[in-house]
Amino acid sequence: MTISYQSARRLLPFILTALMFICLFMFYASPTFAQSAPVQFEADKVETNQEDGILIATGNVILIQDGDELRADKVEYDRKNERAIATGHVIYKTADGATHMSDYLDLSDNFKTILAEPMISEMTDGSRFTASRTTGNFDTTTTMESTSFTPCNCDYEAGDSPIWDLRATKTTHNKQSATIIHENVRMHIFGLPVFYLPVLAHPDWTVDRRTGFLAPSVFYSSSEGSTISAPYYKTLGPSADVTVRPYLFQNRGQAVHSIYREKTDYSDLTANIYLADVATFKKERESVGAIDLVHKTNVGDDWNVRTRLVRTSQDTFLRRYKFNSSYDLKSEIRADRIKDDRYYLVEASDFQGLREADTPDKEPSVLPHIYYESYTPGFRENQSIRTEVSALQLANDEGHDLLRWSSDVSVQEEFTLFDGSLDVEMGVMSSLYDIKNKTDADYHEGEIGQANPYFSLDWRAPVAAVADFGVVMLEPRAKITYIGGADRTDEVPNRDAADFRLDEANLFMTQRHQGKDFVLPGTRADIGLSALADDTIFGEVSGFAGISRRIEGDTTSGLTTGDNRNYSDYVASASIKPSDALSLSWSGRADSKDFELNESRTNLSWQYKSSKIDIEHAQLSKAHFSSSTTDREGLSIALQQNLPDGWIAKASQNWDLSNGKTERDKTRFTLAWTGGFQDCLTLSLDYQRDSSSDRDIPRKDEVFLVLNFKYLGAISQSDFQDN
């Protein structure tokens, strides 16, 4: 058969391609190469030498082996020694996602041993190495000369420069210990040298936690002077660690804060231990200590147990040195269990008051409180039975000790009435007290029983209508409640409802005060109207208005309402949300006679592009109980402005407007920078002013500077901030 010159010329590329694959097949089918992982190979041109086992590939060379990919202009592969030498636009991507670029790359030992001159490496997290020469083994240790390291995510092709980098004469990356060690290292920020260290070691990008010293912190305050802290962190296995933070307060003494953490599949433990020899309001130097331990676990059949132990040996120690800002410390153990139709609770607690006026009789203890609640089907289809049983022992609660056993059994059923639903409820509340009165002889002392049957009819009828401006939903609601039995409000100290506030959430509750100690017999009618609309101009609009009228029964003298007053305060709320950027809400309680505003809370939130403002005002001129604190008023304003290049400015101011005064309470200003898209440095400058004082805690201004370098830790005083 004769083939013309033109036909042969057309077939030549196919013949050369077939010959190249035949050569590659013969080359890789040899016994020596068969010991390694399979190789995928592409190139424009391939030359082979069967005698010395060398393959030379040129032009768009791609070599893939065991998840590693090598691209270059030219690759020489020695199959006997399993060595590849790549030159010209070398890009080597390893199976772990790292990319290495070089002009000359020598790989041996099944692509694990490396020699590169020079080399640029980009890791999976965006970290970047540059080195004039790199040698070593990818599985163990690599050594780089004349290096630069940065974790900043830069677009180098667009000409970006890292915010900060470390430049060293030699860098070693030990992959087995996941540690990077720089020798003769200089840190540059925005291209300017900042400090020099002979040696600097830090974990690599694969490490979540590592034993070692954390970045030290330095802080200055006009009251405490300079404060220096150098924390040490130690891992105690895969599920536990400890941090020891020593503090040196200039002219104030020393303190150590230790944090132990342990977490397993079924429990979580965090223990804070504070030991110090510092200045207090009692002494120039006083040995003090505190503990704050929290343990959570699951035991038995779905029991959730939470234990907290928090105590301090001195009242103002924790607040003064910014370890804990609370004025009340509550130690407790709590176990609860939730089933489909049952709830169990067992708890015990003890308070420690840290205010100057706190005394032992104002540090209540609950030893213990046992509570059980269940819902079971009733005798009819839409009927249910609710059972509640509790036992409580209370001591040192403002001079009162008492034991209380109580129960509440009720039957509930739902009917349809006048295009609405009618909920019928009847039941009996009962309590047995053993009261020991230490300070107030007005209350009963000894045993006393109480039983209060109750009955209620609760009707509501949602109505929806479509108008030109949108959809409107109205829900009128009316409830009649009868509570019988004796009035014990003047005999039983009210310990579980003293913080009660009347609002739309509890206006329609049968036992409005939600406690066992304050049960007010009588008959009342509660009415209200709620509305919800979707308006084209005002957006989402909602509102509520309601009032309660006493039909039968006397008003106890413990309430702010007079003896001859039958109506409660008006309860109302309203909110509008024209868009996601703007919302305004108000809730309040007004006198039923003269509409004088006894309580209100207003919130305004507005956001426009990169600006945001939040305003909140709250006032209380008449509480529900006459013994409660009144004439409280406050205003707070918070501003936030997102600035270019990742900068954020925040400012907040609180005012105390109680008793007709206008006094600045707390001031805070923060200027923060997130590092933009490079994600390797955050900076925060925080100014705080607190006008309140407490014995040895003076009014003071404080400035906090936080610098957080990725992988290197934070140079800050953030541990002292009250967030």
Tokens of 542: 């909602």
Q: What percent of the chain is predicted at pLDDT more than 90? A: 39
pLDDT at 722: 35
pLDDT at 675: 65
Please determine, for residue 186, whether its predicted confidence score (pLDDT) is greater than 50. Answer: yes
As a whole number, mean pLDDT of residues 496-514 equals 90
Strand bridging mode 128-131 / 463-467: unpaired
Cα 495 to Cα 226, 468, 500, 581, 667, distances in angstroms = 46, 52, 11, 43, 35
pLDDT at 563: 64
Q: How many C-beta atoms surround the C-beta of residue 121 within 10 A?
A: 23
**What CA–CA distance (Å, rounded) separates 651 from 649?**
7
pLDDT tens digits, 92-144: 888 878 888 999 988 888 777 888 888 888 887 778 889 999 998 878 898 99
Please determine, for residue 274, whether its predicted confidence score (pLDDT) is greater than 70. Answer: yes
Exposure b/e, 129-142, CB count within 10 A at least 16 = b = bbbeebbbebeebb
pLDDT at 38: 66
Mean pLDDT of the chain: 84
pLDDT at 441: 60
Please determine, for residue 9, whether its predicted confidence score (pLDDT) is greater than 50. Answer: no
- The H-assigned helical ranges of 251-316 are none
- 247: closest CA among 225, 266, 280? 225
Q: What is the DSSP string of 240-265?
A: EEEEEEEEEETTTEEEEEEEEEEE-S
Q: Which of 264-278, 368-382, 638-652, 708-722 has the lowest mean pLDDT?
A: 708-722
As a whole number, mean pLDDT of residues 494-507 equals 89
Please determine, for residue 612, whether its predicted confidence score (pLDDT) is greater than 90. Answer: yes
- The H-assigned helical ranges of 429-519 are none
**What CA–CA distance (Å, rounded) separates 42 from 23?**
13
Please determine, for residue 191, whether its predicted confidence score (pLDDT) is greater than 90. Answer: no
Which carries the bigger pLDDT value, residue 297 or residue 66?
297
pLDDT tens digits, 669-683: 999 887 666 777 777
Q: Please, which pLDDT band fits residue 199 given cuts at 50, 70 and 90?
A: confident
CB-based contacts of 25, cutoff 8 Å, min separation 6: none
**What CA–CA distance (Å, rounded) separates 34 from 53?**
13
Is residue 567 a contact partner of residue 592, using CB atoms and an 8 Å limit? yes
Phi, psi of 396 (to 5 degrees): 60, 30
Dihedral angle over CA of 654, 659, 660, 666, nearest 10: -10
pLDDT tens digits, 46-90: 888 777 778 888 888 888 877 888 889 988 888 777 788 889 899
**What CA–CA distance (Å, rounded) separates 723 from 325?**
10
Q: Please, which pLDDT band fits residue 25 given cuts at 50, 70 and 90?
A: very low
Q: Which of 240-254, 420-434, 564-578, 669-683 has the lowest mean pLDDT?
A: 669-683
Please determine, for residue 188, whether its predicted confidence score (pLDDT) is greater than 50. Answer: yes
Q: Please, which pLDDT band fits residue 548 given cuts at 50, 70 and 90?
A: very high
Q: How many C-beta atoms surround the C-beta of residue 50 within 10 A?
A: 12
pLDDT at 721: 35
Is residue 435 a contact partner of residue 449, using CB atoms and an 8 Å limit? no
Residue 569, judged by CB atoms within 10 A of its CB (0-12, 13-18, 19+), counts as buried
pLDDT tens digits, 621-663: 988 888 887 888 999 999 999 988 788 999 999 999 988 888 8
**What CA–CA distance (Å, rounded) separates 249 from 225?**
7
Which carries the bigger pLDDT value, residue 229 or residue 521?
521
